[in-house]
Structure 1
Amino acid sequence: MTLQEEDDDPEDEEEACSFLVALMQKDRRRYRRQGQDMHTVGFAIYEFKGCQSVHLKKDFFLKHSSCARSESFINLREVSTRLRLPPGEYLVVPSTFEPGKEADFVLRIFTEKQSATEELDDEVVAHFEDEEDITERDIDDSFRAMFAKLSGEDMEISVRELMTILNRVVTKHKDLKTDGFSMESCRGMVNMMDKDGTSRLGIIEFQILWNKIKKWLEIFRQFDLDMSGCMSSYEMRMALESAGFKLNNRLNQVLVARYAENEAIDFDNFVCCLVKLEAMFKAFQQLDKDGTGSVEMNITEWLYLTMCG
């Protein structure tokens, strides 16, 4: 929020801008019929100048105090407060009083003089590490023996075999909450790694996938801050960024709605999300040959990308 002009009050010597902030909870009548009460909500305001294309992390709020806030946090449908601040740039942060609560809201700002508002958000970008250049000589004997035991006589791993392998692995990690990998998620992994079009993974393809999963497991454990075995939407956003994906608010909300169960993301859904993101970003980059950030495609290309990507 940018307050640009101070009030026209000749008797007021203070250079300040009057404004009103109203925070309203959405769809609470529907949730009340389901036995849920209103959340206790309010907002805080911080001085903030700088780039708009950024999602502020916890460090910012630990190092900066709010310059204004709602009169109280209360479990009403709407909380509003009239405030006065000097001209400048400010960040309005609505929140529930209790941590970990999620809900839809409407934030309205009324000003007496000229002002501007904008959502503070990240640009959508992905950073991939260079593809591993692995040859058969780089694979150690223990991994080769494991692969031979898992793959059988054809020395290739099918979608079903991959599902069996991954589910055996995750059951050994008691700190992870997971319902197990599905055929759909394993098919996505095979499609992402399959370079020769056989719909199966050879030993090099499986080695690269195995390294990815080990890296993603480290990220999952790092950002499972409460060590619950699953991640909240807040932890998920930080984990995705650590994995190389910087997404905006709307995309993060879509991913949480798609991959969360009871507002929590378990390990197999986290891996499925990363596989899908990597596949879709790389597919887009192949189509965007000029690096313009936009592509054109016909219906056949669109269907192939969305159905098979």
Structure 2
Amino acid sequence: MGLHCIMPRLSFIKGGKKTKPLLRTGTLRKPRRLQSQDYQALLEKSLGGKQLFVDETFPASLASIGSGCLLDKLPDCVEWKRPHELVQNPQFCTENASEFGLHQGLTENCWFLAALSSLTFHPDILTNVVPQNQSFNKSYGGIFHFRFWRFGEWVDVVVDDRLPVNGEGKLLFVSSVRKNLFWGPLLEKAYAKLCGSYEDMQIGQVSEALVDFTGGVNMSIKMAQAPPDLFQIMMRAQNSGSLMGCQTQTGPERVLDNGLVTGHAYTVMDVRQVTVKSVTENLVKLRNPWGKIEWTGKWSDRCPKWEQLSYKERLFLRKRREDGEFWMSIEDFEAHFVELVICKLTPDLMSHEIGKEWTLSMQCGRWSAGSTAGGRMTYTESYWLNPQYRLKILKGDDMEKFTNSCNVLVSLMQKQSHKHRNQSPPLYIGMSVFLVPFEYQGVKRLPQKFFLTHRPINNKCVFINEREVTQDYHLMPGSYVIIPSTAEPNQECEFILRVFSRKHLLQEQTESPNIVLCCKKIAERHRNGIWETFFNKYFEKHPEIKVAQLQQLLNKITWTNSKQAPGKFSFDDCKLIMALLDMKTSGTLNMQEFRGLWKRLLSYQEIFQRRDVDKTGYLKLNDLQAAIKERGITLHRQFYNLVALRYGDSLLKMSFENFACLMLRIEINDGSAGPPSISVPRLQRSLSLKPLQPPAPRVFSHPFAASCRRHRSPAGQKFFTT
């Protein structure tokens, strides 16, 4: 792990030189506004209109709670009430928040609560997350706001103070030990809004919440591989102002005989050395975020070992009340917990400190399918196409004696791709660091052959399906390259790369013009090779395929980049395609006919994904016009409206499958193999755009063709074959 050097308080240095921080959006002083909601403007509007704020973006309804298993835990009667409707004298916050604990509610978010509990022991950090000058008395407008660090920037989140309660007026989720204190429940509501819903806060890592509260960087220590000096590491972490949390063995939450809870997160509150009969013992103080249920083993509240301490130590450390706080030995801590998380604080939170300083560099990047998503090193053909970042370690006066090495911490964090946290499971990600030899110093990007003959400094790159992966290095002055990657190629995601050291420079290696093209060719060759093999085997068993089989084959691939609209062909879509391609009127397609269809669909997919800039899985009217023009077709504006009306949904947006059916209809009815040059009258006839009413019945030469004469789009409109 190399955790022997816990970071001191950091100050931001860019390029090794001190610079005044720019007051840009997304900073702690000027956070980005979530959903463009301006707290001050909304507060003044509420006060001016003498009406309490109502947040329509996170309504007081079940939609804000969730749509899954959390709903099953809700009581029959759920109401949303403001604090002054629940207690006589509601208070927002107190000077010492750590004195009044928080209780977990129905949501399984002990990881969030453990991190929040840790925050209460750092008032300077707490005030960044919970802005002061908010109350239920002066300038009360039913609105509150909180700040979180999300993916490289600070975000200001506004909520109203309507909270879900049961029929007896008891809060359903987080509540305070002191019933009239509401900063905790309101902060939880703001975080739920950030995650998507209360249900999206279920199941998580305490490390995730610690970073969101601080903008810090996490280091995790697995107890199975804990270093011998674990207690010293924890002592240095505490002295440097770091936040700590820990977790028990994964699994359903249940209370063990020793008082610990499995599948549970705890806050590390304190570490101390005590003297028992001239022998030093190392103790760790923990807190259960439930505010109850404590460890009952050695050094628990009623353990007789306390009597062996001096009166002063016993008075200072021991507490007998059932409040969820307890002490245990470092040996028991290592034996009963599986992971310790240390959140080191970054310059965003810490004041300038004279003396040794750390440089923080941050780069934002993206893994894109077909260009920069090369996968891990075993994919030798594409690995080199991953983003590359050149790291130059500079020699400094404060390097470790004798070794002259520099302690470097690298953090790789993947961004959430869906508005709902739990609907965006993290990919398996990792990173490798390579020493750049002299002969490659002048090369902008390291070529493929470099990675075939060189091994990374971290010989074994571990890929983890967690939001953030960190690694500690000791590097000599010189030039290095960092390669962040997903475990598999063509997995898309945005990421943030952060590097901390005493003195370094970090720069992204720009792409050469041929890189994207090369990667697309590799990805296409890889993909086509897989499908070619699959289709060959499939058609050996089924020389002629029917509609149901066609649908099965077409839906083997994801046609759009959107997770919200995955783009699946319906049975009716496939009946229409079969009618268009089945020249033999046999009701089936052979492999040659299917290959022609597949080639067309891939070309349509390329156009569709290029025009679907927002990755919604749909083409708007303007996007549709541009997409059709790419195939060499130009229509009058009124025909685009009619096409969108007939093939799109009620908002005139078109999915990929309907776009593909439209293009097939145009091109095949026109009789061209490629982009057609089609006249307006012919287009009208081929698309049945005129008249809009069904034409007179026709006599079809084959029963299957008759079954395909009518097709229904997702929006319910009918169109007719000619």
Report which structure shows greater RCO (CA 8 Å, sep ≥6): 1
Structure number with greater Rg is 2
TM-score using structure 1 length? 0.44
Query: Which protein has the bigger helix share?
Result: 1
TM-score using structure 2 length? 0.20
